[in-house]
């Protein structure tokens, strides 16, 4: 499995078709697949997100351009999952990989560099997933969160916790 295109700088590999990257999400859990696809779709720098079921992978048109990122949810049956990932790498030819797994000890195959592939636990926070996607695709960091309003601006009656009113 090769996700590297070592002769080309990362921004040129990822953003070669205009200014936005293309991502593919494969996961056997429909709600998780939808959530990750939505998260990626809202990130600046990612133009098209394509959720794909593992069973539909073999029927995919091989002439479609290679995605910049493959987010692959590893199924509970690891042998089947590695076979699906191998098939996905042959059919899609992705440039980067984010491997999501229930097994927090799961490691990437030897030879995959952190510049091209990463692994996360399925329970990772949205901020962690977004951080790793940004790092893989060499996208700018997220805008900082807006600061909380000052405590003096909130009336004194609303500063107490809710259970204090009961």
pLDDT digits (tens, 9 = 90+) for 64-82: 888 999 999 999 888 898 8
In a domain, 26, yes or no: yes
Contact of 121 with 102, CB cutoff 8 Å: yes
Element (H, E) at 154: none
pLDDT digits (tens, 9 = 90+) for 27-41: 989 999 999 999 999
Distance CA 154, CA 158 (A): 7
- Domains identified in the chain, total number: 1
Contact of 84 with 60, CB cutoff 8 Å: no
- Which residue segment(s) compose the domain that 42 sits in? 10-165
Q: The whole model's pTM is what?
A: 0.73
Q: What is the CATH number of the domain that holds 125?
A: 3.40.50.2300
In a domain, 2, yes or no: no
In a domain, 4, yes or no: no
Distance CA 164, CA 59 (A): 60
DSSP strands (E only) in the chain: 21-26, 46-52, 69-73, 97-101, 117-121
């Amino acid at each position: 499995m090769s996700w590297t295109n070592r002769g080309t700088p990362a921004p040129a590999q990822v953003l070669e078709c205009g200014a936005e990257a293309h991502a593919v999400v494969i996961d056997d859990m429909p709600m998780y697949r939808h959530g990750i696809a939505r998260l990626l779709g809202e990130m600046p720098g990612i133009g098209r997100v394509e959720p794909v079921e593992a069973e539909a992978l073999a029927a995919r048109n091989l002439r479609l351009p290679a995605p910049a990122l493959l987010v692959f949810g590893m199924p509970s049956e690891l042998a089947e999952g590695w076979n699906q990932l191998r098939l996905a790498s042959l059919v899609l030819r992705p440039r980067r990989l984010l491997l999501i797994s229930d097994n927090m000890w799961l490691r990437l195959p030897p030879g995959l560099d952190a510049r091209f592939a990463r692994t996360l636990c399925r329970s990772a926070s949205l901020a962690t997933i977004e951080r790793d996607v940004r790092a893989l695709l060499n996208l700018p960091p997220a805008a900082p969160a807006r600061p909380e309003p000052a405590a003096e601006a909130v009336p004194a009656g609303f500063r107490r916790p809710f259970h204090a009113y009961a």
